[in-house]
Structure 1
């Protein structure tokens, strides 16, 4: 099985030390990206670690496809113990950093310990430099980028950094790269903040070569370049009105299921503000959304569909420019737009202030700095809802994405069992239900579908391939078999190992069936859970047998 090449670089920011480890055996089992980082995190982060403690570790990792020149591969992975979900969690970001990371010659960079002062960590193929950066305290992400350009001749694609949200340990703070691309979900920006790491940069000229099928990759690139796909014009917002009219668009903190001003925040409204094409590294699909509003002097990237929901319909805000402003604030402060928007929506519900964009923007800033009510809201919906007097619209502490499980019941089951909670990208079962491949209503036959798609997404995030490209019309099963040099079912088995190691780690932190719950009822939900656990070979209480994970350890010896 093809896998990433390169060493593990461990950086202890407390001791100001760095060393390398050969992890070829682990890579051969877990490919790269989310897979290898999950394996390392499971084995090296103590099960009883404090997410904000020095014993927590954060992993940057890339996969074998990132050394190619193929479309849909401009992404990389981060993994760590999440302060939002309290479990092992992975998130990935697009942009241009994955190739810069690969140029260091490492396949994984692990950050551990905690610095006694704010630092930037500069990783190159020649070593690691620790730079005290007291002047960057409370700096926004664009200010960090400017500093790195002025002082180190580093470009936006070389930089991963946190904003004030991460420094202030907002539980849904993200890590930003290229200023507008986010390792968004789960709060790993707050973990870097707890470690006093403002930025990590990557630069080098030591990319490891991997033998890939050039003809197959060229065909994918041609297809991406020539495809007539609405997403190339409107990104993920392309289906906003379709979803609102035919399924559900969560509105006013999930109290309603469609939004009367959807045309003012949907795909056409976003496209009107788009002023040029945008893409990730070497990708010809170019689905990104550089947008601006001349009247306000606002320039940003996005919003994507999830942000249109969280800061638009869910906050009762019906002006795309207001949503763009919320998006830009989150990018500058380093906050996940889904969790932040949902949390702001919960606050608006408690104050009966839906549709007040000025209050929305003011609240985002308070969250980033933990000022006033922002200190409570920085904890996220699960920890703040009781004091706010609203329902807890989250799973395992993670706020919901836009795709409503009350209508898309398979996606609802996916939210419940997903190791990272209410995140739509853990399975994207929603695609099958939107497209009519399976009936959105009911759970009959869906545990097996959810399991298969979990395994598929785990491999996809290890490869790494963008979710927008990992579709039958672009990167299909036969393509993966060709490039990876193995049967597709072997790749799915690798994905299953990743899911099980995440679950096993979380089990050791006390999570079980009682955490696989939803804030609404689904038909035959408990029997669907039973079926899902049986398909995975797990215990009835939703825990992974220790013997299952020990088999993976033995395979690596």
Structure 2
């Protein structure tokens, strides 16, 4: 089976020490990306770790396809113990980082410990350098990139960075790359902030040791270049009006199911502001959205659909430029637009100020700096809702994505059982429900489909393939690319889901944590069906006997 290559690089920021460990056997078993990082996290982060403690570890990992030039592969994975959900979380981002990371020769970066000074870490194929950067305290993400460019002659495509939100331990702070691409969900930016790591750069000249099959690679690239998909012009916002009219676009902090101004913040409105094409590394699909409004002096990348929902309909804001401003604030300050926007919407609900975009942006900045009410909101909805006097619309502490489980019941079931909470990308049950391939009504009988989609997405994040490449990187092409039967690839995904669940079980998670804050038909029975399909215990736990260490053969980094 094709897998990533290169050693694990462990960086202890407290000791200012970097060590390399050969992980060839682990990579052969786990392929790369999310699966490899999850195996390392499961075995090397103590089950009782504090997400903000030095014992937590953050993993940045690549898959084998990042050593190709195939479209839909300009992505990387990050994994760690989430300060938002208190469980393992994996998130991935696009941009141009992956090829620069691969060029250092490593397959995984592991960051552990806690520095007493704010650090920039520089990783090359010749070693690791630690740079104290007290002058970057409070710097935005673009300011940090500028510092790196001036001092190292490396652009933002060589860098991951946190903004003020990460430094201030906002529980949904993002790790950013290329200034506008986010390792968004779950607060891993705050994990780097707790370790006093402001940024990490990657630069090297290691040659690609893998042979990636050419025929599917070239076909995928050609098809991506020739595609006339609406998404190439409007990104994920292209379906905003369709979803609003036919399903649900949660509005005014879940009070309503549709937004009267959806057309003013949807795909056409975004496309009108798009001024050039944008892409990720080596990708001909070019679905990114560089947008600007010269009259009001706003320039950003996006917003994508989730941001249109979080800073638009959820806040009652029907002006695309105001949504763009919220998007740019989050990128600059380093925050997940979904959690930030929904948390601000909860605040607007509490003070009866829906539609007040100026206030929404003011509160967004206060969150990043933990200023005033921002200190409360920086904890996220689950921890702040009682003080605000609003409903707790989260699962496992994570704020909901746009796709409404109250209408898409399979997606609601997915939210209920997902190891990382209310994240739409964990299984994407929304896709067959929107397309009419799966009846959105009801939860029973959907467990097998849910398991299949979870496994598929876990492997997709392992390979690593962009979610927008599913129509191009088909099951047959995955088999050819990875030189393995599709069932074997899905087994890698399944083991990854189990490791996440088992880790969370050891932290006290069980069936009491699987649910949603609204009524769904037959939800308890559907959750039981899911446990049965996974062969887990009735209480939603993974039997210890099924969890063998994947890293026993690795030397300790102590």
TM-score (norm 1): 0.99
Mapped partners of 1:551, 1:481: distance in 2: 27
Mapped partners of 2:65, 2:355: distance in 1: 44
Structure 1 residue 517 displacement after superposition = 1.1
Q: Give the conservation status (yes or no) of the 8 Å contact 2:40–2:551.
A: no
Q: Give the conservation status (yes or no) of the 8 Å contact 1:224–1:285.
A: yes
Mapped partners of 1:356, 1:127: distance in 2: 50
Q: Give the conservation status (yes or no) of the 8 Å contact 1:398–1:422.
A: yes
Stretches of structure 1 that go unaligned for 5 or more consecutive residues are none
Structure 1 residue 413 displacement after superposition = 0.4
Structure 1 residue 553 displacement after superposition = 6.5
Q: Give the conservation status (yes or no) of the 8 Å contact 1:92–1:183.
A: yes
Q: Give the conservation status (yes or no) of the 8 Å contact 1:5–1:208.
A: no
Q: How does 1:226-245 map onto structure 2 within 5 Å?
A: 226-245=226-245
> Which position in structure 2 is the counterpart of 1:507?
505
Q: How does 1:12-31 map onto structure 2 within 5 Å?
A: 12-31=12-31
> Which position in structure 1 is the counterpart of 2:133?
133
Mapped partners of 2:336, 2:366: distance in 1: 15
Give the alignment partner of residue 485 of structure 1, picking from 483, 506, 509.
Answer: 483
Q: Give the conservation status (yes or no) of the 8 Å contact 2:172–2:340.
A: yes
Q: Give the conservation status (yes or no) of the 8 Å contact 1:26–1:556.
A: no
Tell me the secondary structure at the aligned position of residue 251 of structure 1: coil
Q: Give the conservation status (yes or no) of the 8 Å contact 2:21–2:554.
A: no
> Which position in structure 1 is the counterpart of 2:528?
530
> Which position in structure 2 is the counterpart of 1:48?
48
Q: Is residue 2:380 matched to residue 1:380? A: yes
> Which position in structure 1 is the counterpart of 2:350?
350
Mapped partners of 1:181, 1:556: distance in 2: 33
Mapped partners of 1:406, 1:554: distance in 2: 44
Q: Residue deviations 1:400-440, cap 9 Å, x none?
A: 00000010000000001100000000011100000000100
Structure 1 residue 554 displacement after superposition = 8.2
Stretches of structure 2 that go unaligned for 5 or more consecutive residues are none
Structure 1 residue 207 displacement after superposition = 3.8
> Which position in structure 2 is the counterpart of 1:391?
391
Mapped partners of 2:501, 2:204: distance in 1: 35
> Which position in structure 2 is the counterpart of 1:96?
96
Structure 1 residue 30 displacement after superposition = 0.7
Q: Residue deviations 1:159-211, cap 9 Å, x none?
A: 10000000000000000000000000000000000000000111101143211
Q: Residue deviations 1:432-456, cap 9 Å, x none?
A: 0000001000013211111110000
Give the alignment partner of residue 521 of structure 1, picking from 509, 519, 522.
Answer: 519
Mapped partners of 1:49, 1:206: distance in 2: 35
Q: How does 1:129-528 map onto structure 2 within 5 Å?
A: 129-471=129-471, 474-528=472-526
Q: Give the conservation status (yes or no) of the 8 Å contact 1:31–1:462.
A: yes
Structure 1 residue 550 displacement after superposition = 1.9
Mapped partners of 1:11, 1:505: distance in 2: 23
Structure 1 residue 297 displacement after superposition = 1.2
Q: Residue deviations 1:492-546, cap 9 Å, x none?
A: 0110000000000000000000000101111111111111101111000000000
Q: Give the conservation status (yes or no) of the 8 Å contact 1:6–1:208.
A: no
Structure 1 residue 261 displacement after superposition = 0.5
Tell me the secondary structure at the aligned position of residue 548 of structure 2: helix
Mapped partners of 2:99, 2:549: distance in 1: 33
Q: Is the alpha carbon distance of 1:528 and 1:553 closer, same or farther for their aligned partners in structure 2, counting shifts above 3 Å? A: farther
Tell me the secondary structure at the aligned position of residue 468 of structure 1: helix
> Which position in structure 1 is the counterpart of 2:116?
116
Mapped partners of 1:361, 1:529: distance in 2: 39
Tell me the secondary structure at the aligned position of residue 547 of structure 2: helix
Mapped partners of 1:250, 1:203: distance in 2: 43
Mapped partners of 1:403, 1:143: distance in 2: 34
Tell me the secondary structure at the aligned position of residue 56 of structure 2: coil
Mapped partners of 1:446, 1:374: distance in 2: 40
Tell me the secondary structure at the aligned position of residue 18 of structure 1: strand
> Which position in structure 2 is the counterpart of 1:60?
60
Q: Is the alpha carbon distance of 1:136 and 1:551 closer, same or farther for their aligned partners in structure 2, counting shifts above 3 Å? A: closer
Tell me the secondary structure at the aligned position of residue 73 of structure 1: coil
Q: Give the conservation status (yes or no) of the 8 Å contact 2:51–2:83.
A: yes
Q: Is the alpha carbon distance of 1:240 and 1:372 closer, same or farther for their aligned partners in structure 2, counting shifts above 3 Å? A: same
Tell me the secondary structure at the aligned position of residue 106 of structure 1: coil
